[in-house]
Amino acid sequence: MRSEAPPMIKLSDYQAPAFLVRHVDLKFCLHPTATRVFSRLECVPNTGKSAFLLNGEELQLISVEIDGKPLADDALILTETTLEIAADALPDGDFTLCCETEINPEGNTSLDGLYMSKGMYCTQCEAEGFRKITFFPDRPDIMATYSVRIESDEPVMLSNGNPTASGPGWAEWHDPWPKPSYLFALVAGNLVSYDDSFLTMSGREVGLKIYVRPGDKHRCEYAMDALKRSMRWDEQVYGREYDLDLFMIVAVDDFNMGAMENKGLNIFNSKYVLASAEIATDRDYELIEGIIAHEYFHNWTGNRITCRDWFQLCLKEGLTVYRDQQFSGDQRGHAVQRIDDVKMLRARQFREDAGPLAHPVRPEEYIEINNFYTATVYEKGAEVIGMLRTLVGAEAYERALTLYFQRHDGQACTIEDWIKVFEDVTGTDLAQFKRWYSQAGTPRISVKEDWDGNTYMLTLTQKTDPTPGQPDKQPLVIPVASGLLGSDGTELHSTEVLVLDKAEQTYRFEGLPEKPIPSLFRGFSAPVIVERKISNAERAFLLANDTDPFNKWEMGRAYALDLLSVLATDAESTIEPDFLNAMATLLEDQTLDPAFKALALSLPSIEDVMDAVRQGGGTPDPMACYDALSRLDTAMAGRMKGTIEQIYNALDNDGPYTPDPQAAGERSLRGRLLGLISRLEPNVETAMRHLAHADNMTDIMQALPLLIRAGRPEAKEALGSIYESWKHNDLVLDKWFAAQAMATPPEHAAEAVAQLTEHPDFHWKNPNRFRSVIGVFAMANVAGFHRADGAGYKLLTDWLIRLDPVNPQTTARLAGAFETWRNFDDGRQALMLGNMQRIADLKGLSKDTGEIIGRILEAKG
């Protein structure tokens, strides 16, 4: 691999900072290739006499002064990543450190630190980007106030906090709230703002501004509305009021992440700000709403209270994801939101837990912290918060959060601080519950039932498989929200939270009139895998009768997976008519929400089918799983043909597009029905009519993939028409590329994607564009990526090798496409391993990508 391995950072090695920084003055003289940065740090010794170690990367050091006096060369040790000032050169008490550095924003293709996006200056400092701007003790437990002066010819110059003064060619900002360096932000460029205001619960008026490029201002209305709803919700539900005079969002086209919660100046990937009916789908609107809420909620859970070190990342992210999920549930309906959240958790986090990249919610070591912005830290971290709330109750959770904000405002905290708050409020010892933060892996719950004519006994056993570095597992505290149903569908025992905290436990229910049918883990009360022997007849019963919407959906999914795993291993097997009848009954149920119906009628993902085959003892063939899905989809369409067509036509809405949840749910159901109809039409004529009459991007993106999948010549015409209409809009072009990378039939996908990479608009250095082609192919065209000849693996590897020197973060994330290599046949395993070895052998491979590939390859044993 590389001759010298990068150092491993360990939680156990944490030490308090030798120096604190009370205040930071920064001056930027902006220039595309030679920006000068002047920093003045008010420093305070914290641990006694020692050298002062500052982080700095890709910086040209011009000068260093202590209390106005230049430092001698022999007082400094400068490396590629640090600047160390000798202890003897430092005063005994407080002092001021001034540095002048020069950086090259235009040459910063990593999009980390200060860089340029289409002529606009912008920053990304989480986790460790600030060290690419100036020398600084770049760690989250150093919290300081900031004053910033920007000098530039750019018409708009922004930083954190409140504006204090400005003039021709300069602007000054001050943030009075202490913050870690990862929350620093600067933006300068030719921007216009969409303005509004918000009256807080104490009567303060806050100015709201969304900055975008000229021409995009009319696409900010929904984002602004989502921001105002988020601010009001956080006041009403958590009692959290905004604390500055101004809140700003800036939309940036070149951005590695979705968005960043910099204090008072959130920087967003453009795709999560800009929306109108003609460029954004219902899903885009939903994501804009959720991500704006997430970043705004960070103002308290992340900014006012931050992390002591990066191992505590789940402290801010898990809690804030949980809060944004609560918000989205209140806005769009809790049942559908919960199902969507669990689908994402299973698709990303469960697979992470089952593979070589498994790690605890709070990792114990890392090489590159950017590699731990994962589904485990975020989504599983949110599940841990939800379980804690379930166990202590909503009222105690609310009191605990109030105490958390009071006790730790302005501090950099740990998971121990968080747990202690709940222990103090409830008087409960949560030491065992805290294992959720330290133990990797997804618990498996086996179920045993006994009935003696009067008493029902439910025995639950928990087991967590070994994960890398953790061969032995201990029992967790698992909340099991459960109900018992009678044979007529009535509740014999309403929902009760059973607590499973031993390896095996039995629960007794007495005085029941008949043997009940259990409904377990209602609302997905814990992130576990339930292994229960259950007949398809019982699944059909629960699908029809369970009062818990999540479990109703879950039974349909489990029923479908049972059939699909058989179809994928035995092409001659038949499809149970009872399943098709159950789906038909669900479609015709007038009491169910359209959005729920759309989810319930959608089949599991191809990855789910492959997992089911593997759990049944087989080795999944991706193409056989793809064919199984097509066959069951077609059977459903045939069984429900008349009803599908009737409801599809009834849902045709001639009114203007609105993104509200009810209308979006109806479009979602109509789109699912269109997919079923298209299974019965070789010429996909209904999809062609759907596309021809589409007046919004949702309808277009429902029909276009169906034409591509069917190989219709009309698909090429439609693609050409969309391209000509929208070739100057990056967000639409991303969808245009993604539709082809995802929907092209697997047997031709690698070649089609290779051809897309030769398109003049495939700007591969832009993360959104790269993900829309290479990322979508590897993650969403699963059978195409895993084609037996390995063409998909080679295509991905070639591009990762090309991208790594330019953007290591994006490369490392997509390298995770190889993490499931052990799940396939010997031939595919060998092909994946060979391509990963090509990456591992690269000279100069980034530590981001090197860590991911190295951890996956370690699974070879």
Which active-site residues does the annotation give?
295
Distance spanning both ends of the chain, measured CA to CA? 17
**Pair of tokens at residue 231:** 């601010």
Secondary structure of residue 147 in the 3-state scheme = strand
Q: CA 120: distance to chain centroid? A: 26
Distance between CA atoms of 348 and 400, rounded to whole angstroms? 30
Cis? peptide before 127, omega within 30° of 0 = yes
3-state helix, strand, coil in the chain (%, to 5): 45, 20, 35
Q: Which DSSP string corresponds to 739-789?
A: HHHHHS-HHHHHHHHHHHTTSTT--TTSHHHHIIIIIHHHHH-HHHHT-TT
C-beta neighbour count of 678 within 10 angstroms: 25
CA distances from 109 to 134, 255, 333, 765 (A): 18, 10, 41, 8
In 3D, which of 296, 13, 266, 23 has the Cα closest to residue 142?
23
Residue with tokens 């295509």: 795
Please give the single-letter amino acid code of residue 492.
L
- What length does the chain have? 861
Q: Which residue has the tokens 């009803």?
A: 643
Tokens 């030491």 locate to 431
Token duo for residue 782: 């699963």
The region, left, alpha or beta by phi > 0 then psi within -120 to 50, assigned to residue 113 is left
Beta bridge partners of 212: 192
SS3 label, residue 180: coil
d(CA 447, CA 183): 47
Count helices and strands in the chain by DSSP H and E runs: 30, 31
Q: Could you tell me the CA-to-CA distances from 248 to 30, 160, 228, 297, 827 in Å, in that order?
A: 21, 9, 12, 14, 52
Using DSSP bridges, classify how beta strands 205-212 and 170-179 pair: parallel, antiparallel or unpaired. Answer: unpaired
* C-alpha span between 663 and 656 (Å, rounded): 11
Distances (CA, A) of 402 to 74, 224, 321, 654: 51, 28, 18, 48
> How do strand 76-78 and strand 120-124 relate by DSSP bridges?
unpaired
Strand duo 456-463 + 444-451: pairing: antiparallel
3-state secondary structure of 92: coil
Ranges assigned E (strand) in 153-204: 156-159, 162-167, 170-179, 186-189, 192-199
Q: Where are the beta strands (DSSP E) in 282-425?
A: 306-307, 365-366, 412-413
CA 157 to chain centre: 30
Task: For 654, list phi and psi in degrees, rounded to 5.
Answer: -85, -5
Residue 126 and residue 156 in contact, taking contact as beta carbons nearer than 8 Å: no
